[in-house]
Amino acid sequence: MTRQLAQNTIDAVRRRVQTDTLGHRGRSGDPLYGIRAVLAEVDLPVNVLAVPGTPPVAELAELGVRRVSVGASFTFSAYAALADAATELLTTGTYAYTDNAARGRSLARDAFS
C-alpha cells in the first residue's frame, strides 16, 4: 500500500512538471516525442512531413531533422484562396480578392521573367 501511494505521488509530480514545462501531459501531447524517438534510433537523415501541429522548422533542425516537406499543402492553400475568391464574387459581388491576385501576378512575373 505504501509503495502504491509513493508511485501515485511520483506520477502526479511527473505529470505536473510535464504540464508546467511542456504544456501537456507527456508523450501523447508532445509532437516531438515520435521525432525524438526516431532520431535516437537511426543514424540516417530524418525527414518530417509538416502537418497541423508540427513544430517550427528551427525547432526540428535543433533536434537534427534534415528536411521538412510540405506535401500538397501549398496546393491546397492555393485551392482555398481560389474558393475564397469565388465565394466572395458569388456572394457579395465584390473584388477584394484582386488585391491578392495583383500580388500573385507580380510574384509570377518576377519569378518567370
Burial bucket for residue 53 (CB in 10 Å: 0-12, 13-18, 19+):
exposed
Same domain, 60 and 83: no
Same domain, 103 and 87: yes
List alpha helices for 1-113, DSSP H.
Answer: 2-22, 33-41, 57-63, 73-91, 97-112
Higher pLDDT, 64 or 3: 64
pLDDT at 71 over 60: yes
Higher pLDDT, 16 or 54: 54
Same domain, 39 and 49: yes
pLDDT at 96 over 60: yes
Residue 110: band (very low, low, confident or very high) from pLDDT cuts 50, 70, 90: very high
Mean pLDDT of 2-6: 70
Same domain, 67 and 78: no
Same domain, 37 and 62: yes
DSSP 28: G
The count of domains in the chain is 3
Residue 53: band (very low, low, confident or very high) from pLDDT cuts 50, 70, 90: confident
pTM: 0.60
Same domain, 85 and 104: yes
User: What is the pLDDT of the chain when averaged over all its residues?
Assistant: 84
Higher pLDDT, 8 or 52: 52
Provide the pLDDT for residue 16. Answer: 64
Same domain, 21 and 53: no
Same domain, 35 and 64: yes
Domain span at residue 43 reads: 31-71
